[in-house]
Amino acid sequence: MKQVNMHEAKTHLSALVEEAVNGDPFIIAKSGKPQVVVYPYSANSEPPRRTGFMPDLIVPEDFNTMMADEIAQMFYGEAYENPS
């Protein structure tokens, strides 16, 4: 894969992009260190599926309020009574 420096990429961006579109992706480097890869955009490809921590996890309906009484008792002590 061709590597070009930042100045060359700015100077010849149109030609480099045209090459990438025609199947020749390239790397843009800064001070000789690769920074980005330029390759053609494909509108037909769908983004990669994100891998979740727990993909089959079902969140309960009362998730935001579950254990609220127990948490309140930890803060306010045994004297806490649920107002509902």
- pLDDT tens digits for range 28-83: 999 999 999 999 887 676 766 666 677 777 888 888 888 888 888 888 887 666 66
* Predicted local confidence at residue 2, as pLDDT: 93
What is the reported pTM? 0.51
Q: Where are the beta strands (DSSP E) in 1-84?
A: 2-5, 26-30, 33-38
Where exactly are the structural domains of the chain? 2-38
pLDDT at 26 over 80: yes
Structure confidence by residue, pLDDT tens digits, 6-15? 999 999 999 9
Mean pLDDT of 1-8: 95
Half-sphere exposure of 71 (CA within 13 A, CB side): 5
CA 56 – CA 59 distance, rounded (Å): 10
Second-level CATH architecture of 2-38: 3-Layer(aba) Sandwich (3.40)
